[in-house]
């Protein structure tokens, strides 16, 4: 009995020691994890700040030489060292707008088909095909656009658009000019093909999160499939759909190689979407290796700074939209 009584305090002390050791190990692990994640977040901020500082420092000669006029000037003449960003900004915004106007309804339609209408036998092959489109390198899209798609547009679609809308008031300027094949419209359509997989994949994923009970309840009260999609699926997933749209828009704004192949690379603004143009990323890719002067190089770097700013503004607006939607839902 005495030995048993003595063993109980010893066992209790051993258990307390082990418990304290385990708690110290957990505490150390938690501290390491917390510090590593904090360092990762700080590293991202430092990298972002470094990129911004580098862009501003590299663009300073152009900022001092042209000031705000750099954003409003269409001139781009390396010989006289007169540079302006208006043409690349215009081309970037217009091609991205064309791409999203085409890709968004098609991508959402594909997602609705895959989640609500498509048979299980076809769902997987179509889904894989969409994912393969996202994996194709952009230079392949550019080569295909230049040698296959642009000639088709030049001989078929663009003459049709010119003959159909060329004399329509309000649209004649938009479709004016000869059918070059390459141009802003061609770049916008190629961008739409590249952006489509992102919009479709994200929309499909968020549509699959809709609880079945909601759709079954809607069908139970007599709703058609269109009414279920419009009144149940889309409202329930609109935050995810907007996120997919913004992701696609970010891809369209920064795309370089495919656009460079098919846009025509002309520093001019035309009211016609059939005319050649340029974008910020295409201008940088085409001319950076040829920039032999400090002001020329600084102007190209300032173009990169402007593209960074445009992307930041787009992401900020999307975040504000999502916050407002969440606030209304809450």
Distance CA 76, CA 247 (A): 31
User: How far, rounded to the nearest angstrom, does the alpha carbon of residue 124 sit from its chain's CA centroid?
Assistant: 25
Phi–psi pair at 170, nearest 5 degrees: 90, -25
Distance CA 92, CA 168 (A): 26
Instruction: Return the H-helix or E-strand segment holding 76.
Output: strand 76-77
| Mean pLDDT of the residues in the chain | 86
Q: What is the pLDDT of residue 235?
A: 86
Q: Are residues 61 and 122 in the same domain?
A: no
Distance CA 111, CA 197 (A): 10
pLDDT reading at 15 higher than 70: no
| Domain count for the chain | 2
Q: Which of 14, 33, 66 is the last residue of a domain?
A: 66
Q: Are residues 45 and 79 in the same domain?
A: no
Higher pLDDT, 272 or 168: 272
What CATH number does the domain containing 320 carry?
1.10.3720.10
Name the burial class of residue 6, with classes exposed (0-12), middle (13-18) and buried (19+) by CB atoms within 10 angstroms of its CB.
Answer: exposed
pLDDT reading at 330 higher than 70: no
Classify 77 as helix, strand or coil.
strand
pLDDT reading at 62 higher than 80: yes
pLDDT reading at 193 higher than 90: yes
Compute CA distances 305 → 59, 119, 127, 186, 255, whole Å. Answer: 8, 47, 37, 26, 15
Distance CA 279, CA 307 (A): 10
Closest by alpha carbon to 76, among 92, 89, 94, 64? 89
Q: Are residues 99 and 53 in the same domain?
A: no
Show the tokens assigned to 188: 């916008």
55-58: long-range contacts, CB 8 A cutoff, minimum separation 24? 55/301, 55/304, 55/305, 55/308, 56/305, 58/297, 58/298, 58/301
Q: What is the pLDDT of residues 197-216, one digit of tens each?
A: 989 988 888 898 888 888 88
Q: Which of 15, 43, 66 is the last residue of a domain?
A: 66
Q: Are residues 123 and 231 in the same domain?
A: yes
Q: Are residues 123 and 25 in the same domain?
A: no
Q: What is the pLDDT of residues 222-260, one digit of tens each?
A: 888 888 888 889 888 888 888 888 888 888 888 888 999
Closest by alpha carbon to 187, among 289, 275, 318? 275
Distance CA 317, CA 327 (A): 15
Distance CA 153, CA 185 (A): 10
Give the predicted TM-score (pTM) of the model.
0.85
Classify 277 as helix, strand or coil.
strand
Higher pLDDT, 298 or 325: 298
Stretch 54-66: mean pLDDT, rounded?
91
Q: What is the pLDDT of residue 6?
A: 45
Residue identified by tokens 């040829």 is 290
The pLDDT confidence band at residue 4, using thresholds 50, 70 and 90, is very low
Q: What is the pLDDT of residues 80-139, one digit of tens each?
A: 889 999 999 999 999 999 999 999 999 999 999 988 888 888 888 888 888 888 888 889
Q: Are residues 33 and 90 in the same domain?
A: no
CB 126 within 8 A of CB 117: no
Structural domain harbouring 295: 70-329
pLDDT reading at 187 higher than 90: yes
Q: Are residues 203 and 133 in the same domain?
A: yes
Q: Which of 50, 66, 82 is the last residue of a domain?
A: 66
Q: Are residues 239 and 302 in the same domain?
A: yes
CB 183 within 8 A of CB 163: no
The pLDDT confidence band at residue 57, using thresholds 50, 70 and 90, is very high
Q: What is the pLDDT of residue 148?
A: 92
Q: Are residues 183 and 43 in the same domain?
A: no
Q: Are residues 45 and 162 in the same domain?
A: no
Compute CA distances 225 → 66, 193, 216, 266, whole Å. Answer: 57, 27, 11, 47
CB 261 within 8 A of CB 145: yes
Q: Are residues 86 and 49 in the same domain?
A: no
Q: Are residues 147 and 202 in the same domain?
A: yes
């Amino acid at each position: 009995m005495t030995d048993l009584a003595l063993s109980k305090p010893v066992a209790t002390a051993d258990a307390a020691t082990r418990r304290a050791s385990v708690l110290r190990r957990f505490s150390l692990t938690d501290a390491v994890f917390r510090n590593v994640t904090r360092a990762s977040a700080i590293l991202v901020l430092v990298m972002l700040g470094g990129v911004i500082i580098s862009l501003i420092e590299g663009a300073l000669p152009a900022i001092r030489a042209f000031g705000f006029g750099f954003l409003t000037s269409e001139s781009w003449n390396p010989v006289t060292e007169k540079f302006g960003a208006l043409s690349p900004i215009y081309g970037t915004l217009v091609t991205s707008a064309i791409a999203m106007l085409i890709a968004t309804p098609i991508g959402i339609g594909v997602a609705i088909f895959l989640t609500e209408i498509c048979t299980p036998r076809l769902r997987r092959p179509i889904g894989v095909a969409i994912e393969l489109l996202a994996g194709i390198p952009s230079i392949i899209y550019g080569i295909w656009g230049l040698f296959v798609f642009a000639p088709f547009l030049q001989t078929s679609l663009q003459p049709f658009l010119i003959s159909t809308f060329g004399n329509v008031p309000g649209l004649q300027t938009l479709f004016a000019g000869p059918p070059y094949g390459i141009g802003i419209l061609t770049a916008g359509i190629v961008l739409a093909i590249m952006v489509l997989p992102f919009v479709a994949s994200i929309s499909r994923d968020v549509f699959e999160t809709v609880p079945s009970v909601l759709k079954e309840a809607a069908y139970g009260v007599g709703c058609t499939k269109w009414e279920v999609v419009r009144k149940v699926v889309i409202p329930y997933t609109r935050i995810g759909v907007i996120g997919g749209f913004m992701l696609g828009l970010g891809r369209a704004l920064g795309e370089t190689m495919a656009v460079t192949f098919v846009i025509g690379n002309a520093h001019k603004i035309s009211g016609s979407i059939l005319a050649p143009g340029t974008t910020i990323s295409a201008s940088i890719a085409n001319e950076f290796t040829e920039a032999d002067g400090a002001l020329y190089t600084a102007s190209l770097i300032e173009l990169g700074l402007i593209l960074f700013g445009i992307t930041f503004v787009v992401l900020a607006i999307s975040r504000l939209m999502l916050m407002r939607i969440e606030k209304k839902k809450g």
